């Protein structure tokens, strides 16, 4: 069954090419199409297009389909082009002509739009919640390790003393920036497109305010052409927001892989979180974080793909939009999985004691030495030259016994202030 079927047969090769893998992808959208169809039926009843008993019967059957979906019994067979045709078929099979009325005053275009936006809306909230959970874990680790010395690097050269507290809380605060983008993305998709039909509205006396409230959208997309043009824009926005989270996690994963190596040896994880080698029995590989890094980089590529497919399309609907469904759903489902495994794994991190007597760290405290001279009355420039001279002639000796309290200071960590930013 096809919603556009006019009784004219279509070449099977063309059908296979144009349908693609929509049946599989639409299983992610089935719940939302059923929910939107319930709202649409109620609206048709409110404006007098459907009788009250017709609305009731449609809602009952859609609720049954939702139960089937939840139980894993709902399938989109090869006879159907997509979830929309499958649902209408099931309604018509049970309700006869009443089922045939469900498509009144809507198009498959706004059906897809509303299902996708409901899907994005719910999942952006889920991604936001998981990101918040990760932030909380990182702030807890930052507080626990706030005074644990960690060499800081610039240009991958030993630079200045830092702390594990600063490292953990740095990524926590960057993830808060990502929360702001997720909130912006949620605002974009939280606009009801239902009722825009094929992009030019409907001559039926529909009530778009009703479906907006019924579906829990904050507002509606008032201009019907703008509603249609939000196809592509929503996918670009959502995948871009996800790419921002992915960028932060990818950089964090790279740090973890680096710090686990024997050359750094700053951190480790329980054996059960790592993998080994088929020929080197000593290996303890950070495969989880390498895969996170690779998957996150792939998610950033998807955001660019959305732009490339949609950036030069004129107004109105184009079949190109079908191509952005798969990877936008892939991005949503994968970032949720990545966040789950990151939260689970990072909570089990083991921070090591670092031997600051190691020769490679002997210049780690030069800035502290300069600052000591300044505090004792010298100018910064003279102090810089003095310590620089000692480094050059090999006479520099760091004050290794000194307590470097600034690395875990309230001003540098500001854990409470960082936590407050989550709610802004």
pLDDT at 10 over 70: no
Half-sphere exposure of 219 (CA within 13 A, CB side): 8
20-78 residue pLDDT tens = 677 889 999 999 999 999 999 999 999 999 999 999 999 999 999 999 999 999 999 98
Catalytic member of 85, 244, 277, 423: 277
Q: Are 170 and 146 within 8 A, CB to CB?
A: no
Of 88-97, 142-151, 280-289, the least confident: 280-289
> Which of 411 and 146 is assigned the larger pLDDT?
146
- The pLDDT score that the predictor gives to residue 366 is 94
Q: What tokens does 323 get?
A: 């191509």
Band of pLDDT at residue 404, cut at 50, 70 and 90:
low
Domains and CATH numbers, the chain: 12-100 (1.10.275.10), 116-193+223-351 (1.20.200.10)
Question: What's CA 159's distance to the chain center, in Å?
Answer: 33
What is d(CA 201, CA 41) in angstroms, rounded to the nearest whole number?
A: 17
Active site residue 277: yes
> How many CB atoms lie under 10 A from the CB of residue 324?
22
183-204 residue pLDDT tens = 999 999 999 999 999 999 999 9
109-138 residue pLDDT tens = 999 999 999 999 999 999 999 999 999 999
pLDDT at 391 over 50: yes
What is d(CA 327, CA 312) in angstroms, rounded to the nearest whole number?
A: 19
132-146 residue pLDDT tens = 999 999 999 999 999
Three-class DSSP category at 142: helix
Widest distance between CA atoms in the chain: 94
pTM: 0.92
Three-class DSSP category at 191: strand
Band of pLDDT at residue 17, cut at 50, 70 and 90:
low
- The pLDDT score that the predictor gives to residue 272 is 84
- The pLDDT score that the predictor gives to residue 172 is 97
What is d(CA 76, CA 82) in angstroms, rounded to the nearest whole number?
A: 7
Catalytic member of 155, 203, 278, 423: 155
Active site residue 155: yes
Buried-state track 167-188, b at ≥16 Cβ within 10 A, e below 16: bbbbbbbbbbebbebbeebbeb
């Amino acid at each position: 069954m096809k919603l556009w079927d006019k009784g004219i047969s279509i070449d099977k090769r063309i059908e296979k090419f144009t349908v693609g893998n929509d049946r599989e992808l639409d299983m992610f959208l089935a719940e939302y199409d059923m929910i939107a169809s319930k709202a649409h039926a109620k609206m048709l009843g409110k404006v007098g297009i459907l009788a009250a008993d017709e609305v009731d019967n449609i809602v009952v059957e859609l609720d049954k389909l939702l139960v089937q979906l939840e139980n894993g019994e709902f399938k989109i067979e090869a006879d159907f082009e997509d979830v929309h045709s499958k649902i209408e078929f099931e309604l018509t099979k049970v309700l006869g002509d009443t089922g045939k009325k469900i498509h009144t005053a809507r198009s498959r275009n706004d059906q897809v739009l509303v299902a996708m936006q409901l899907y994005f809306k719910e999942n952006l909230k889920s991604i936001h919640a998981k990101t918040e959970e990760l932030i909380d874990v990182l702030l807890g680790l930052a507080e626990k390790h706030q005074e644990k010395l960690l060499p800081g690097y610039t240009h991958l050269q030993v630079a200045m003393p830092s702390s594990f507290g600063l490292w953990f809380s740095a990524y926590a605060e960057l993830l808060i920036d990502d929360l702001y983008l997720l909130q912006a993305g949620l605002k974009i998709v939280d606009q009801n497109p239902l009722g825009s039909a094929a992009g030019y509205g409907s001559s039926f006396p529909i009530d778009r305010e009703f479906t907006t409230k019924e579906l829990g959208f904050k507002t509606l997309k008032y201009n019907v052409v703008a509603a249609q043009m939000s196809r592509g824009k929503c996918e670009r926005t959502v995948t871009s927001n996800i790419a921002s989270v992915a960028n932060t996690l990818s950089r964090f994963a790279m740090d973890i892989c680096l710090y686990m190596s024997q050359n750094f040896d700053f951190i480790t994880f329980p054996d059960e979180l790592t993998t080994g080698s088929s020929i080197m029995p000593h290996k303890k590989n950070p495969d989880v974080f390498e895969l996170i890094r690779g998957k996150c980089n792939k998610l950033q590529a998807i955001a660019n793909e959305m732009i490339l497919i949609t950036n030069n399309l004129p107004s109105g609907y184009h079949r190109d939009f079908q191509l952005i469904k798969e990877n936008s759903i892939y991005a949503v489902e994968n970032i949720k999985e990545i966040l789950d495994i990151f939260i689970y794994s990072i909570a089990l991190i083991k921070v090591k004691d670092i031997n600051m007597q190691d020769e490679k760290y002997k210049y780690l405290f030069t800035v502290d030495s300069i600052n000591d001279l300044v505090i004792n009355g010298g100018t910064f420039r003279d102090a810089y030259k003095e310590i620089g001279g000692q480094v050059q002639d090999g006479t520099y000796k760091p004050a290794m016994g000194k307590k470097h309290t600034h690395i875990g200071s309230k001003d540098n960590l500001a854990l409470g202030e960082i936590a407050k930013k989550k709610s802004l």
